[in-house]
Amino acid sequence: MDLYEYQGKQFFARFGIPVSRGEAVTTVDDAVAAAERIADYPVVVKAQVQVGGRGKAGGIKLADTADEVRTHASNILGMDIKGHTVEVVWIEQASDIAEEYYASFTLDRSAKKHLGMLSAQGGVEIEAVAEENPDAIAKIHVDPVDGLTEEATRQWVAAAQLNPQATGGAVDILQKLYNAYVDGDADLVEINPLILKPTGEVHALDAKVTLDGNSMFRHPDYETYEATQVRDEREQAAHEKGLQYVGLDGFVGVIANGAGLAMSTVDIVNQVGGEPANFLDIGGGASAEVMAGALEVINNDPKVRSIFINIFGGITKGEEVANGIVTALGRVQIDVPIVIRLDGTNADLGREILEPHLSDSLQMQPTMVDAARKVVELAGAGNQGGPR
């Protein structure tokens, strides 16, 4: 779950990270009223969209008076920033900036550790810093069992060569940021810029937070974040059906049971020259209802030219899966060819059930590679190479 900046700042504040006072509003009048409540001009009017570079796009403006707030808020509300329409603006007390830094925590899967990144070159996109001046980013790997000690944080801050004035504040914020990341079950927390004020305080001026949606059972209050998720139409429809779906740009619809198999399916479609239209995990079971829902979501995607159903029977037996597919196909009118690969527990029984229903537009293949090649061929694409 990706948070808007204002939600990220509210999240940070709970862990004691200093952020500016502000209010999120949706109308020009409310923006002016919020600025008057903050009372301490200048204030900043900030477009709330889940995309970076808002400043450059004209979505962040300083205002010295209520009239200026009115002007900026009316320009920014409704503005399009990289395909995202601004519906909410955040009004906050402006900060004086002496220096801009960058700080983040995320998971480094290959190292099996958390990765902290800190740079004295903040305010700009970190990808650009990583490209042009990689030495300017101080990295730290944190063993999740040991956690982040104050001593390690001090060394890390020293390595980043921040202004010595910022050391104390930075160590404090980074430890709180680590707590927010771990205790808040985040996948990413990023502050860019983390600022040093002329007065010597360190402060989070921006917030980018991605929370782990699977941790909702520990954080019932994350419902409010869930409610503001930005999804494309396909993702919204899939979400309402309880499917694990991620929209992609290709033309082969993918249905698989289990996230690992769904990912492998996406990979193999790519390897044989196809482009997946989506990632879709229907989970452990494969009831007719779930299968019909999955087929509907994929069938409503105009880019899809063929569909790959890749099922490995486990606790859910092959015959149950096959019956689910047959029933689902009876319910949903599918316009493109389908290729099925069914393996695992009682695959033979399942294939027997499917056999009488097979046709040019509903084919079955014995292996995953065969099925991938066939489904890509039926989409009118593919190559001769790929895995053997």
Residues in the site for ligand GDP, rule: CB under 6 A? 44, 52-55, 60, 94-95, 97, 100, 123, 192-193, 205-206
Query: Which residues inside 8-27 make contact with Mn ion, applying CB under 5 A?
Result: none
Residue 163 near residue 196 (C-beta atoms within 8 A): yes
**Residue 53's binding partner, choosing from Mn ion, ligand GDP, none, with beta-carbon cut-off 5 to 8 A by kind?**
ligand GDP
Write down the least CB distance from residue 85 to ligand GDP, Å.
15
User: What sign for the dihedral angle of Cα 247, 248, 252, 255?
Assistant: negative
Write down the least CB distance from residue 380 to ligand GDP, Å.
41
Write down the least CB distance from residue 52 to Mn ion, Å.
6
Task: Pick the closer one to ligand GDP by CB: 54 or 351.
Answer: 54
Using CB under 5 A as the binding criterion, the count of chain residues that bind Mn ion stands at 2
- Catalytic amino acids? 102, 190
Task: Pick the closer one to ligand GDP by CB: 25 or 291.
Answer: 25
Q: How far is CA 13 from CA 8, 9, 133, 262, in A?
A: 9, 6, 31, 38
Q: What are phi and psi of 124, to 5 degrees?
A: -100, 170
121 binds Mn ion (CB under 5 A): no
Task: Pick the closer one to ligand GDP by CB: 88 or 309.
Answer: 88
192 binds Mn ion (CB under 5 A): yes
Residue 278 near residue 247 (C-beta atoms within 8 A): yes
Write down the least CB distance from residue 121 to Mn ion, Å.
13
Task: Pick the closer one to ligand GDP by CB: 46 or 114.
Answer: 46
88: Cβ contacts below 8 Å, ≥ 6 apart: 4, 6, 24, 25, 26, 48
**Residue 114's binding partner, choosing from ligand GDP, Mn ion, none, with beta-carbon cut-off 5 to 8 A by kind?**
none
Task: Pick the closer one to ligand GDP by CB: 53 or 387.
Answer: 53
Query: Which residues inside 335-364 make contact with Mn ion, applying CB under 5 A?
Result: none
Tokens of 272: 């044989």
Q: How far is CA 351 from CA 144, 213, 281, 321, 355, in A?
A: 46, 36, 21, 10, 6
- ∠ CA 126-131-136 to the nearest 5 degrees? 65
Write down the least CB distance from residue 207 to ligand GDP, Å.
8
Closest-by-Cβ residue to Mn ion is 206
Q: Which of 234, 278, 276 is nearest to 252 (CA)?
A: 276
Using CB under 5 A, pick the residue from 5, 100, 206, 281 that binds Mn ion.
Answer: 206
Write down the least CB distance from residue 109 to Mn ion, Å.
25
Task: Pick the closer one to Mn ion by CB: 59 or 250.
Answer: 59
Edge-to-edge strand ranges of the sheet holding 278-281? 244-247, 278-281, 252-256, 306-313, 338-344, 362-364
Among the listed ranges 77-85, 104-112, 138-146, 204-212, the one in contact with Mn ion (CB under 5 A) is: 204-212
Tokens of 285: 């079971």
The three-class DSSP label of residue 62 is strand
Quick one: angle between helices 233-240 and 288-299, nearest 10? 170
Residue 177 near residue 169 (C-beta atoms within 8 A): no
